[in-house]
Amino acid sequence: MAEAKVQWLGGGTYLGVDSTQHSVVLSTPTDNVGMKPSEMLLVALASCTAVDVVNISAKKKQPLSSLEIQVKAEQDENPPWPFRKIHLHYVASGEGLTDAALSKAIELSEEKYCSVSATVRGVAEITTSFEIV
């Protein structure tokens, strides 16, 4: 079972702590001292798939030397402002890295391994693109 907690620190600032006792500061845009909670979801999605893509690439003997995932998302204009479209753009490099290998690693992450993607899928349309630099 996964566990986490959030503690209100005052004003619009909060401290999120995961099951391994690692923490992140979150805040409202007014307080501007931490990450926006709604965008934390985008970071969670990108980092979940990043872990998968790095690990899958290494197992397939296509190790990465760098990976950045740029996320753009569209939200409804009215409360509760759910994300409806999320686009992940992967920018990767690695000696001998092929389009086919990177594309397959992204596909496996999205369809089989990423728990955040599996949770968000169905509420938001998730699309991907990639480039090898």
Tell me the pLDDT of the chain (133 aa) as tens digits: 899 999 999 999 999 999 999 999 999 999 999 999 999 999 999 999 999 999 999 999 999 999 999 999 999 999 999 999 999 999 999 999 999 999 999 999 999 999 999 999 989 999 999 999 9
The set of long-range contacts for 49-54, using a CB threshold of 8 Å and a minimum separation of 24, is: 49/88, 49/106, 49/109, 49/110, 49/114, 49/116, 49/117, 52/105, 52/108, 52/109, 52/113, 52/114, 53/90, 53/92, 53/102, 53/105, 53/106, 53/109
Mention every residue, 6+ apart, whose C-beta is less than 8 A from residue 114: 45, 48, 49, 52
Q: pLDDT value at position 60?
A: 94
The CATH code of domain 1-35 reads: 2.20.25
The CATH code of domain 37-132 reads: 3.30.300.20
Q: pLDDT value at position 19?
A: 96
User: Where in the sequence of the chain do the CATH 2.20.25 domains occur?
Assistant: 1-35
